[in-house]
Structures are given as structure tokens and as C-alpha cells.
Structure 1
């Protein structure tokens, strides 16, 4: 029987959610993708704590999360991953 690893450090680095969307506008870099996400798709009640290019940190209900923005196949499809930190 294999025991489930419940090491908090490993769990905190796991991708826990992602959000993907498409635009008619070309995003020439991932910083534009992050700005679009923060301006138009951020979860209600989230507070932006830090942003640097395609990386941001937010707080939702007292929990801090890292966000990473990137293309999802091309410059018209995008994805942001959410990781607990």
C-alpha cells in the first residue's frame, strides 16, 4: 500500500487551478496576458499583492496564490495557472 505524501511544501507548489480564454487581439507577450487576466478575469474578492511581468501574487480569503500567465498554443489563446504559496 502506497502512503499519500502530505508534505506541506510539496502541496503548496502544486498547481491547484487554471483559467484559459481566447481573445481576438494578439498578445505579443505574457505580460499582456497577465494584465488582461488581472483587469478582466480576476476572481471576485481577490486582492493583487504583487505583479512583475507575467507573474503575480494575489490573496483570496487569507490564502496567498502565485499566478503565472502564458500562451496556450498561440498568441490568441491564453492560460493563467494558480498555485498556493
Structure 2
């Protein structure tokens, strides 16, 4: 059983791993909750290990709404980063 967490991608990856989480109608692609969680964890690992980011750090973002933006947003939520538009 999962402990209560605000990590919604981990919860949805557990409960509905094969359900579509995000669909990019422009590119015609989609990712499941499991894939979104996996990609967000990978990016979080990169941010922590390679960039030294930690909870509360600010991350400036210049991006259009897209699948990579959703992955970045999910990673920031998972790590406790503050996105600065």
C-alpha cells in the first residue's frame, strides 16, 4: 500500500499504468501514466544528480504547452521545484 503522497504521477502509474495520461494532438502521440511517471523520474534523477537541484529551487521555463512541458511540470511537482514562467 502506498503512503499518502502528493506525487500524483506515482499514484496513477500504480492504479492505471496503461491508461493514456497525455495526448499531443499536434504530433498525434500519447503517453500512459506509467510512461509519464518513468520519464518524470528520469528527469528528476538528472536534475538531482547532474544539476544539483533540490526541493524549493527555482527553475525558469520558456516552453509552449506540449508533452515535454507536461513531463517537466510533473518532474517539478515530484521534486518540489518552483517553475518560473
TM (normalized to structure 2)? 0.27
Highest relative contact order (Cα 8 Å, sep 6+), 1 or 2?
1
Q: TM-score, normalised by structure 1?
A: 0.27
Relative to total residues, which structure has the larger strand share, 1 or 2?
1
Identify the structure with the greater helix proportion. 2
* Bigger Rg, which one: 1
